[in-house]
Each structure stands twice: as C-alpha cells, then as structure tokens.
Amino acid sequence: MNRRMAREVVRLMDLHVSFVRATVVKTVGSVPGKVGASMILRPDGTFLGTIGGAGLEEEVKAHARNALTSRRSDLLHFDLQAWKPGGLPSLCGGSVDISVEYVPAHPNLLLWGGGHVAHAIATLLPALEYDYSVADDRPEWVTVERFPHADRREAVTPGEVWTVFDPSEFSHLYLLGYDAKKDLELLASSIDRFPGYIGLISSAPKRAHMFAELRRRGVAPAAIARVHAPIGLAIGAESPSEIAVAVVAEIIRSLRPAAPRRVSRRGKTPVRELSP
C-alpha cells in the first residue's frame, strides 16, 4: 500500500465511516496487478487506487459494492484465462487472489454523565481505538484527569448538548446521567435529532416512567423503540466495570455480524473466507 492509500484509510477511519479495501494477496503467472496492489471503495461510491484494471477490476468493484452493503469480507480467486470455464475474458493467462475487506465505521461515542459507568466505559475504549467525548453539567466530572483520552470534555446542560456537539459526528449516544429529569430532557431532544444508537442506563421503573413521559409528549412509539434500555449485552452485569464490558461487547458484536463460513471463487482453486 502506498502512502496515498494509507492516508485515505486513516482519513476514512477518522471520519467514522465504513469502507471496503480490495488488495491483491497472491498471483500466479501473468496478471495485471501485482501483490499489494489495492483500491478503496468509499461510502459515496467512488474508488481510489487500482488492482490492475480491465475486466478484473470491474468484477472486483462489483464485489466491493456488495461487501459494503452486506458488511462481509471475502477472499476471491480469479482465473485470467478466457479459454477456461469460469475464467474472466482476459488473455493474461495467470490467476489472482484478492482480499475484499469490509472495514466497519470507527465508533465514536458521546457519553452523557461523567459518573462511574461512563468512567468505566471510557477506560476500555482506547485499547479498541474507539473515540469518545463526554458531557456533564458538573465541571468536576469532566476533567482531563478523569477522562484523559476523550476527544472532548464539555460541561454543558442537557439543553446545550446538541448546540455544542454535532450529532452527525457520533455513532452512539449513552445517557448515563445522575439525574433522571436531565436524562429525559436530553433523550427527548435526541430521538429526532440523533440518528445513531441511543442507549439509556435505567432501572425498569425509570425506563417505564421515561417512556410514558415521552408518549405523553407525543413522541411516536417507533421513535421510542429506538432507545436501548437496558444497555449492553445481557450478561448479568451489575458493577460499573461489568456494565462497561457489556456495553463495549455489544458495540463489537454490532460491528461484526455473525455469518456462516463460505467460499467465493472463480475456477477450481478453493479459498478460505477472511473474517470481517
């Protein structure tokens, strides 16, 4: 991979968007693209780079588009022999294996409430290279010392959150506040404005009360159904650290949907699927 491709990978990851990278990983005989040649499919449908051009590249582009839609990675084999059954319309004579890697959007979390659960979640995120910011109306709970790796730490009221932050920058919003009324205020203003995952930490009575209040305010049932409460995988978590593990595990699972193992190829050479 050249520096231009490497910079583009980092740029897309920093933008928290999904993309697909196709890379030549093995060649036999004469082929247009050598090992390491790669191209990137951006979320807007444009491509950067090349794996050799001609019919091979168009075939791989189609697989890349499918990978972006299905969120699946794959390893593809192509025979560049027009005279061979299943071969591409090419006279190169060789064969090539190409990795089509789906790269999921890099998570970016906004944590409302800088308490114990937020701190526990934030502790796990740097090792995963997940970005996050934290907001609280108590300045002493959003300090650099408490959240040293946060992109932003803002002391704001619930009503100021979407004035200070751009909702389109975040993939997840977690309401972890210490005050149910303030959680409700931010939740009510977020359902229609924030398109990503909305998670609410709450007991069953708190959840029932808040959802009833949202309905009283005229919020549609389908909109309320977007709110995840409780948050995280159901692993019986109780302590802040356990809840943090459940929350992060749920994010990881959402990025890597389970899929049966399969083989995608042209010709007779078997290949093994790459894990996404």
Confidence of residue 263 (pLDDT cuts 50, 70, 90): very low
DSSP E strands, 104-221: 108-112, 131-136, 153-155, 172-175, 197-200
Give the CA angle between residues 156, 199, 206 to the nearest 5°: 90
Q: Which residues contact 92 (CB under 8 A, 6 or more apart)?
A: 29, 30, 31, 32, 80, 81
- Residue ranges of domains in the chain: 3-103, 108-255
The pTM for the full model equals: 0.77
28 sits in which H/E element: strand 19-28
201, two tokens: 């930490």
Q: How many residues does the chain have?
A: 276
Averaged over 113-135, what is the pLDDT?
A: 96
**Lowest-pLDDT range, 26-35, 132-141, 209-218?**
26-35
Q: How many CA atoms lie within 13 A of 34 on its CB side?
A: 1
206 sits in which H/E element: helix 204-216
DSSP E strands, 106-256: 108-112, 131-136, 153-155, 172-175, 197-200, 227-228
Q: pLDDT digit string (tens) for 125-164?
A: 999 999 999 999 999 999 999 999 999 999 999 999 999 9
Decide if pLDDT at 8 tops 50.
yes
Looking at per-residue pLDDT, the higher value among 2 and 272 belongs to 2
Fold topology of 108-255: Rossmann fold (3.40.50)
Q: Residue 272 class from Cβ within 10 Å (0-12 exposed, 13-18 middle, 19+ buried)?
A: exposed
Which of 57-61, 103-107, 137-141 is the most confident on average?
Answer: 137-141
| Other Cβ atoms within 10 Å of 151 Cβ, number | 13
| Average pLDDT over all residues of the chain | 87
